[in-house]
A and B are shown apart, each in its own frame.
Chain A
């Protein structure tokens, strides 16, 4: 059961344009969401996060939007740069989970973003 889904395996964008990466989740208990970026041969690095009490969080060129009713979030990158080319993972957790589930992230399959010069 894939609780976090990134339905687009890849996305290609022109430099300077907006990149929109999408993520859907099925578990209504998830209340905290994170985006990670991964370059080849490196581990994922944290990019931006959002709590379910918000619907938007912005950090420089990166903005995450959360639509709780649709169980959907998106990452907007504007303007896109060639250095943004990487695999982007969406992740979710249930912050009030007890026991061994506390802090446990569930990841999507990832979307490969390619930004062309």
Chain B
């Protein structure tokens, strides 16, 4: 389809291992966002890529978290040395900036479970 896709849909990992989560935004969308939703919580902003500008990393909770966006399209969120508190649904969204609306289109998310 033409929507935002994320992989894997589910990931179970052991504490201390590294994980990579992938996001394929909608073609032509210049802005890409990562959020996470912990159990019973709202959407917590993590990082924002806009075109070729330096990303807004202000939401990353620790230096174990990093993200890249290659060629202005696909993005990878990496969590090193995972901890149990990293367990959450990680959501990616993209949008057309500038645009007539600020609507962000979300992928289905990756459910990460750290055991």
Contacts and interface: CB of A to CB of B under 8 A. Distances in A.
Chain A bound to chain B: yes
Interface of A: 6, 32, 34, 36, 41-46, 49, 89, 93, 95, 99-110
B43 A46 contact: no
B45 A108 contact: no
A43 B109 contact: yes
A103 B107 contact: no
Interface of B: 4, 31, 33, 35, 41-43, 45, 48, 50, 53-56, 91, 93, 95, 97-98, 101-109
Given A32-B102, A43-B106, A103-B31, 7 more contacts: A43-B91, A43-B109, A46-B103, A100-B50, A103-B95, A103-B97, A104-B45
Given A34-B103, A43-B91, A109-B41, A102 B50 contact: yes
A43 B93 contact: yes
16 contacts: A34-B102, A41-B108, A41-B109, A42-B109, A43-B4, A43-B106, A44-B43, A45-B106, A46-B104, A100-B55, A103-B102, A104-B48, A105-B104, A108-B42, A109-B42, A110-B43
